[in-house]
């Protein structure tokens, strides 16, 4: 076994897999995990000082800018500036009442992975006053958290949040077709015809919907588990698809979003911040998909009348249950799907951040450090 494969296998042990959910290990580990790490976001780099930014903008020397500040001739966001004040991306600065143009790099995107429990809604303001996921997220001093898609009230699992609206939009946009992977428990086993219908496309109230793959997971009695992938995120889509073929969903867990997986050991209601390396990988994945989107596709992700950048439904082979290039009844290969990061050397994102941060905080506690600059998984108090 080479070093790359060894590293991949080691990383996979730190991610929740479909087999863990079916075997019950997913729930047993949740009950056994008692470790609670400090809930701290990583500190951002210090923003530049006002007098330095103005000097760089050609308004004068730093000393001259400090003199104007002391004379009350400079305002930041319509408030008098003060000596030593730092300004951030998006601040409005005026000198003698005139707006000044200057350049400050926007803050780097922040991304957190949240383990959503059932019973929480993904909204900032719920008229029914139900628990919301945003109540448990850390406070951002600049900007706000934006959820990457939604999970309904009774669905649990991986939910991503980011401070970057552009990144959130790219992760959700239908034209990129990022796969979502779910562990689904339904009442009654699917027969072969029902599987083919779900892969070929079932008609819902808001249009056709189809799974990219379906894999049996076993189960007990009438409860049957399936691992499914889907490349869009309409409201309650997975549940409605199974209902369309006559099966009710009794449990639904999202364990992967694109290349991001649910880290093992991240308790329900807890979050972990992705480090710079993982955010870079996540961005590269999106940018790589963007490079393969046809140039004639519009901003709504449509091309020649298609809803998404993928083959038309009529060209998909219903005989391909896994959607991974297996031959259908005609002997032709089904369209190639995105590589499964759980099964290839491409690897995946998220688990390494969690492990590194857990180890880092453990070493800080052992060394007597305060850990004030650390970040890690945590619960709201």
Residues designated catalytic? 152
Q: How far apart are CA 28 and CA 246, in angstroms?
A: 31
269: left (phi over 0), alpha (psi -120 to 50) or beta: left
Distance of alpha carbon 279 from its chain centroid, rounded?
10
Question: In the 8-state DSSP scheme, what is residue 318?
Answer: T
Task: Tokens 């369309």: give the residue.
Answer: 244
Q: How far apart are CA 264 and CA 13, in angstroms?
A: 8
Instruction: Give the alpha-carbon dihedral of 342, 346, 349, 354, to 10 degrees.
Output: 80
Q: How far apart are CA 240 and CA 323, in angstroms?
A: 20
CB of 284 closer than 8 Å to CB of 273:
no
CA distances from 371 to 62, 110, 155, 182 (A): 36, 20, 34, 35
CB of 133 closer than 8 Å to CB of 268:
no
CB of 239 closer than 8 Å to CB of 329:
no
- Within 13-101, residue ranges assigned H as helices are 18-23, 25-32, 50-56, 62-70
Strands (E), the chain: 74-76, 79-80, 93-95, 98-99, 111-116, 146-148, 156-162, 180-187, 202-204, 207-209, 213-220, 223-230, 249-257, 260-261, 271-273
């Amino acid at each position: 076994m080479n070093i790359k494969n060894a590293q991949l296998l080691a990383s996979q042990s730190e991610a929740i897999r479909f087999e863990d959910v079916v075997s019950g290990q997913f729930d047993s580990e949740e009950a056994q995990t008692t470790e609670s790490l400090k809930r701290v976001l990583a500190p951002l780099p210090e923003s530049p000082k006002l007098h330095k930014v103005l000097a760089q903008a050609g308004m004068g020397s730093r000393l001259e800018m400090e003199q104007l500040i002391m004379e009350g001739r400079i305002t930041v966001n319509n408030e008098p500036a003060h000596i030593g004040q730092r300004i951030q991306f998006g601040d409005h600065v005026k000198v003698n009442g005139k707006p000044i143009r200057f350049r400050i790099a926007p803050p780097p995107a922040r991304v957190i992975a949240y383990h959503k429990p059932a019973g929480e809604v993904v909204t900032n303001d719920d008229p029914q006053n139900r628990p919301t996921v945003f109540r448990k997220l850390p406070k951002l001093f600049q900007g706000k958290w934006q959820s990457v898609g939604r999970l309904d009230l009774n669905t649990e699992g991986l939910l991503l949040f980011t401070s970057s609206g552009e990144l959130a939009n790219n992760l959700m946009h239908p034209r990129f077709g990022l796969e979502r992977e779910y562990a689904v428990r339904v009442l009654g086993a699917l027969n072969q015809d029902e599987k083919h219908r779900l892969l070929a496309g079932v008609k819902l109230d808001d249009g056709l919907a189809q799974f990219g793959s379906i894999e049996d997971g076993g189960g007990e009695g009438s409860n049957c588990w399936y691992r499914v992938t889907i490349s869009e995120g309409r409201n309650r889509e997975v549940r409605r698809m199974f209902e369309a073929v006559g099966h009710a969903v009794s449990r639904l867990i999202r364990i992967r979003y694109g290349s991001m997986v649910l880290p093992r050991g991240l308790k329900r209601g807890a979050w972990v911040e992705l480090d710079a390396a993982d955010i870079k990988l996540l961005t590269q994945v999106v940018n790589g998909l963007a490079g393969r989107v046809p140039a004639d596709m519009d901003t709504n992700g449509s091309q020649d009348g298609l809803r998404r950048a993928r083959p038309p439904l009529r060209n998909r082979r219903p005989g391909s249950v896994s959607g991974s290039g297996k031959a259908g009844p005609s002997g032709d290969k089904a369209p190639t799907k995105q590589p499964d990061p759980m099964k290839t050397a491409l690897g995946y994102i998220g688990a390494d951040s969690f492990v590194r941060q857990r180890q880092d905080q453990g070493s800080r506690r052992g060394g007597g450090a305060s850990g004030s600059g650390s970040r890690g998984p945590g619960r709201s108090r």
